[in-house]
Structures are given as C-alpha cells and as structure tokens.
Amino acid sequence: MPRPETFISCSVKPNRKAKKPMSDHLTFHHQFSADDFEDQYNLRLRRPDFETTVLRDWENRSAAAREQLECSLDVRYGDGDNQRLDLFLCDDNTAATLVYFHGGYWKSGDKSIYSFIAEPFISAGVNVIIAGYDLCPELSVTEIVSQAREAIIAIYRHADDFDMNPERITVMGHSAGGHLTQMIMGTHWNQLASDLPHEVVQSAIPISAISYLEPVRLTAGLNETIGLDETEADDQSPIVSHPPTSNAPQLLVVGGAETEEFIRQSQMYQDSFYSDERNIAITIVPDVDHFDILNVLTDSRSALFEKAVALINDGTLEPT
C-alpha cells in the first residue's frame, strides 16, 4: 500500500530494406520522404488500439501494483509539476536500484502508468524508482534532459534517506526514456557538482531508444508538439554530442517487429560506442513491437527479464 506523499532474446538480423550502407548513420535518413518519417517514427499510427488496449492494460496493472507493493509516491526532486519520483523499495539497503524513465516522445505519458514495471523487479530483490518529468511543449527536450539528470542526482544524494545503496544504480528507459537513459550515460557528473563521482550510474538498459533526434525533427506529426530545431536535435542526440562518459555496461533492447529505423537507432549506438573496455550489447526480442516489448520485460519468465536482472544485480552482460 502507498505511504503518504512526501516533499526472449536472440541475435537475429532485422529485415531492413536498406538503400544506403548502415555505416552512413547520420545521413541514412536523407532518402526518406515525409510519409517515410511518419511510418518509421510516428508509432501510434501502427497501433490504433494503443489507448484502448495497451495503455488501459498498463494503467490497470499499475494501479494493482501500487495497491500491492510498499511504495512512496510523488517524492519531489525539483520544482516542475511532474518532477516527482515513485519509490518501490524491497526492504534491503544493500539491494541494487533500477531507475526508470517512461516514453511518450517527451510530450505525453506519466510515471503513474508504469508502476507495473516494479512488481517483477521487487520480487527479484531490486528496488525500482519511476521518475516523472515535465513535457513538451511546455519544456524543450534540452530542459527535459536536465530534469532527468536532476532526478539521478537527487536519488544519489538522498540514497541514505531512501535506505538504498548509491553505488548500485542502474538506469532504464523506453523510447524517449531510452534517449534520456543514453543522455544520462553521457553526463559528466563531477562537472555538474563537486560532490558527485565520475560514475554515478553503474549500468544502463535503453529500450527502443532514440539515439539520433534529427529524423524525429523531420517527422511533422511528432515535431509540431516537440518543437525541435536542427541545432537542438544535434545537441541533444547521444550519437552526435553525448557519448558515454564511462565504461559502464549497457544492454540495448529493441523489438524484432519494430520499425527498421528503431532497430537502426540501437545498432548505430552500439556501432559508435562499443569497445573492448565498454560492453554495449543488443538484444532483439523476436516478434515484439515498440509497445509490447514492455510486457516481455516484465514477464519474470522471459530471457529479457533475466538478462536485465543479471545486469542490474551483478553487472553481468554477455557481449554480442
């Protein structure tokens, strides 16, 4: 019950119809028409049942999770309306902690929809913190990235208050939340504040992440609300301006039934930043689209869940 408010993986190759070499990461999209951008990036068009089926199921499961699990809801980490955390803690101050950022193209969604993420991880002995943030168009993507960093800093600084271990933080995000995850991994923490170490986050799991924002800028049906210009799209792209600042391992996850572009986004991040010292692995979940991938993630019997828990708890990540 909530406490009161406080201040199946495989390495299959995707079926892409590539017209240019994959190595040409930043110009590959030049071949796309306006309709191509909508088809590849405006994913709600592919799931007309999103509101009635996908979202309703997540909301129902999340309401049940908040009733069944010990949780502290709406813990503030900043002044923004949505700068709040929902904490699901497993009563073990040595446990690893998973911090989750939701998707919605920086313009929709709410942390309350994603409480269902917590249940299987709590059962596996992992704390879960669901982070909220303010949205476009009231905020820019640049400002949302700053809020995500504020969330991580607050969690690290207040770990003792939360009775959790600040040395065992993993960040995970889906879609736009995957972008925030990669931006967090590209953060120079000790340049932001002298009390922060070089490496605040020990591992990351970006799911269906957006590593390069320029194609999103060119997707009219999305960018009319997001409001990216060319400069911000580059400045806020992990693939262009924010490479990882540590060798913390990362597990990139993408659905085998996602669009060609979403699969390419993860592949180009790995191609750009994997090294002998920095393990960045990709798991492609067969026959799963952009939304249902979260249902596989939260199935404690799935290979994806097992991989995630191994990385969170032990730092174990098989190279690809």
pLDDT digits (tens, 9 = 90+) for 149-191: 999 999 999 999 999 999 999 999 999 999 999 999 999 999 9
pLDDT at 320 over 80: no
Greater model confidence, 71 or 10: 71
Asked if residue 144 belongs to a domain, the reply is yes
Rounded Cα distance between 240 and 273, Å, is: 11
CA dihedral 311→314→317→318, nearest 10 degrees, is -140
Q: Which residue has the higher pLDDT, 310 or 15?
A: 310
Asked if residue 20 is part of any domain, the answer here is no
Are 140 and 230 contacting, i.e. CB atoms less than 8 angstroms apart?
Answer: no
146 lies in a domain?
A: yes
Report pLDDT for 309: 98
Q: What is the mean pLDDT of residues 3-19?
A: 33
pTM of the model: 0.93
Domain contains 196: yes
Using the predicted structure, report yes or no on whether residue 12 has a pLDDT greater than 80.
no
CA of 164: how far to CAs of 9, 97, 112, in Å?
Answer: 30, 8, 22
Nearest-angstrom CA–CA distance, 204 and 185: 8
In a domain, residue 22? The reply is no
What value does the mean pLDDT take over residues 198-209?
Answer: 98
Contact predicate 248/312, CB 8 Å: no
Which residue type occupies 129? I
Count of domains observed in the chain = 1
Mean pLDDT of the region 220-224? 98
Residue with tokens 């400002």: 143
The domain containing residue 265 runs over which residues?
2-10+27-314
pLDDT in the model for residue 319: 63
On whether residue 19 sits in a domain, the answer given is no
CATH of the domain at 279: 3.40.50.1820
For residue 263, give both structure tokens: 């699969």
List, for residues 83-125, the tens digit of each pLDDT value.
999 999 999 999 999 999 999 999 999 999 999 999 999 999 9
In single-letter form, the type of residue at position 19 comes to K
Segment 215-223 mean pLDDT: 98
Share of the chain above pLDDT 90, in %: 91
Could you report the per-residue pLDDT of 52-71, keeping only the tens digit for each? Answer: 999 999 999 999 999 999 99
**What pLDDT does residue 14 have?**
30
Is pLDDT at 4 greater than 80 in this prediction? no
Q: Please give the Cα distance from 214 to 237 (Å, whole number).
A: 8
Among the ranges given (4-13, 165-174, 305-314), the one the predictor scored with the smallest mean pLDDT: 4-13
Confidence of residue 318 (pLDDT cuts 50, 70, 90): confident
Q: Is the pLDDT at 11 greater than 50, yes or no?
A: no
pLDDT at 24: 81
CA–CA gap between residue 320 and residue 318 (Å, rounded): 7
Residue 5 scores a pLDDT above 90: no
Residue 259 has pLDDT above 70, yes or no: yes
Q: 296 pLDDT exceeds 70?
A: yes
- Residue 181 falls inside a structural domain: yes
Residue at 78 is within a domain: yes
> Given this model, what pLDDT does residue 42 score?
97
Choose between 312 and 22: higher pLDDT. Answer: 312
CA distance 38 to 45: 8
State the average pLDDT for the chain: 92
Report whether pLDDT(222) > 60: yes
Give kind and range of the element (H or E) at residue 25: none
